[in-house]
Amino acid sequence: MSPISRRRFVSAGLAATAGVSGVAVAATLAKRYGLIPPDSGGIYGPGETLTYAAQRLLTRHSLAREFPRSMISRTPFANELAPFNDAFKRHQASGFADWHLAVDGMVARPASLSVSDLRGLRASSQITEVVCEEGWSYVAEWIGTPLHEVLNASGILPQARYVVYFSIEPDWWESIDMADALHPQTLVTYAMNDGDLPVGFGGPLRLRVPRQLGYKSVKFITRLTVTDSLKGFGKGVGGTNAEGGYAWYAGI
Amino acid sequence: MPDAVSFRNSDSPRHAAFVRVTHWITTICFFALLITGAEIVISHPRFYWGETGNNLTTPLFRIPIPASRNLVPTGYGYVLPDANGWSRYLHFEAAWAVVLTGLLYAIWGLWTGHFRSNLFPARADRTWQMFLKTIASHVRLRRPDEAEAYSYNSVQRISYLLVIFFFFPLVICTGLALSPGFNAAVPAVVNSLGGRQSARTLHFFVSACLLLFLIVHVAMIVLAGFTSRMRAMITGKTITGTMTAGVVRSTRQSTGEEQI
């Protein structure tokens, strides 16, 4: 084997230095522009960070595909639900008349909105696909209030970075960044196809995040918390699915 | 036929260091993608055609295995453990690694002429007769002659080109078409594949083609001489590493004359 020449040694050293400093600069920039997901640690962190950063850089304003009415699935699949807790059953018995969505955290005017309050805000509808991480999917029409309308009504503070949302069912919460929270298709959904949102599909209120997988569309939501950090919520990785070993960002 | 063979001297390796490194990175990533892909399929071993499909719709076909979710009608009385969390993480991490490696390899291959000189079939081999002859010797499981330790035959070249420029890009496109974020940004890919469920079904079949390639690839390496081929792809050295250019040239020329 021929000995490594000085020129080769120097150029390899320069390339390595350039590579390391390139990664360092990229990491600093990524952090500054909010391209690091909360589950960026561990062995899967690099892949997850690349996915999240790439999608945020390239798809921040993209709209999820919308379909013609003729493509609405005749057999949407509600998926499995744990038995309802007593609080939910009480609401169900009274036709969800007292169901409220609290808006708190980094907002100027915390609020508590009933389903009819939400119906009084500007309505939006979309025919989009629910995509489960398992592989199955269906298309439905979703009707509700855009999340940005709900948040803007309460006045988002400038340091806000995430919106955390909670189901009435215990240990069921998720979070999204402001790019998805303010996205026009992110919907506080109260109706589906031709009627009220059925309980199996998350009624009375479900947050639809159509640019991410179904597990980010939490059913039976009762609370939205605007925050600048996910550290204070559960284990700090931004949701029950992330705590259970799934990716926080589910745009892939 | 001087243009058909690129002669090497004993100092130049059978495979360039760049090829060896990218080959093994790709191998590791491929196994990671294969195992995690299978794990993800187990959560819903049903396939559909078109945009949508779920447990309530008729599948195009289903794989007769138990599932890791209890609402999938599999016919089995039990449910496998859920492994989708780490499987999905690893699947995408390996995908990033293999796509970036593949991009570097493609740029390097075009830049250095690797594809033109080592993978595009040599001029003398660009005839149907030669192609059929090579296939016939493969079908008879004939052990390749000495010259093939230094260069690829035309069937190998065409298989490698198909894998590099057809199956890998297709498996990437069909995979990306399963990402709701990517589909929002570039809807043309999923739409041109016939919808999300079609893309998923195609992703499965293209992966199966790559697995088939892997099986044949390894079988051929065993047939040709596992140790020498592995040594060539790991260290770059051929049989002894001391073979002179003259020996290579004469071996190659004699086979060339036989073929004519």
A2 at interface of B, judged by CB pairs closer than 8 A: yes
Which domains does chain B possess? 17-259 (1.20.950.20)
Rounded to two decimals, the pTM is 0.88
**CATH number 3.90.420.10 given to A66-243:** yes
Question: Position of tokens 């402001």?
Answer: A178
Smallest Cβ distance to B51: which of A2, A71, A251?
A: A71
**What torsion do the CA atoms of A147, A148, A154, A156 make, to the nearest 10 degrees?**
120
Alpha-carbon distance of B40 to B43, in angstroms, equals 6
Give the minimum alpha-carbon distance from A250 to chain B in angstroms, rounded to a whole number: 8
Bridge partners of A162, per DSSP, are A177, A227
CA distance B68 to B70: 7
d(CA B148, CA B167): 25
- Mean pLDDT (chain B) is 86
The phi, psi pair for B129, rounded to 5°, reads -60, -50
Place of tokens 């040594």: B231
Q: Which long-range contacts (CB under 8 A, 24 or more apart) does A234-242 make?
A: A234/A173, A236/A38, A237/A38, A237/A39, A238/A37, A238/A38, A238/A39, A238/A162, A238/A164, A238/A174, A238/A175, A239/A173, A239/A174, A239/A175, A240/A171, A240/A172, A240/A173, A240/A174, A241/A174, A241/A215, A241/A216, A242/A38, A242/A39
Residue B141 φ/ψ region, left for φ over 0, alpha for ψ in the -120 to 50 degree band, beta for the rest: left
pLDDT, one tens digit per residue, over A112-160 is 999 999 999 999 999 999 999 999 999 999 999 999 999 999 999 999 9
Provide φ and ψ at A32, rounded to 5°: -65, -40
Q: Is B26 left (phi over 0), alpha (psi -120 to 50) or beta?
A: alpha
**Residue A177 predicted with pLDDT over 50:** yes
Closest-CA distance, B125 to chain A, in angstroms, reads 34
What token pair was written down for A174?
Answer: 């998720």
Taking any CB pair shorter than 8 Å as contact, residues of chain B touching chain A are 11, 40-41, 43-44, 46, 48, 51-57, 69-71, 84-86, 88-90, 92-97, 178-185, 187, 190-191, 196-197, 200
Report the percent of chain B where pLDDT is more than 90.
Answer: 61
The pLDDT of A85-97, averaged and rounded, is: 94
* Exposure letters B42-60 (e unless 16+ CB within 10 A, then b): bbbbbbbeebbbbbebebe
pLDDT single digits (tens) B65-75: 999 999 999 98
For residue A68, pLDDT over 80 is answered with yes
Round to whole Å and give the CA distance between A230 and B202.
38
Task: Say how far apart CA A218 and CA A155 lie, in whole Å.
Answer: 23
Q: Which of A111-120, B88-97, B149-158 has the lowest mean pLDDT?
A: B149-158
- Look at residue B139 and give its three-state secondary structure: helix
- Give the E-state strand segments of chain B in sequence order: 46-47, 61-62
pLDDT digits (tens, 9 = 90+) for B155-200: 888 889 999 999 999 999 999 999 999 999 999 999 999 999 999 9
Note whether B196 contacts A129, CB cutoff 8 Å: yes
Number of H helices, E strands in chain B: 10, 2
Q: Alpha helices of A84-234 — where are they, by DSSP H?
A: 86-93, 115-120, 147-154, 178-181
Percent of chain A with pLDDT over 90: 82
Question: Tokens 């190998």, residue?
Answer: B156
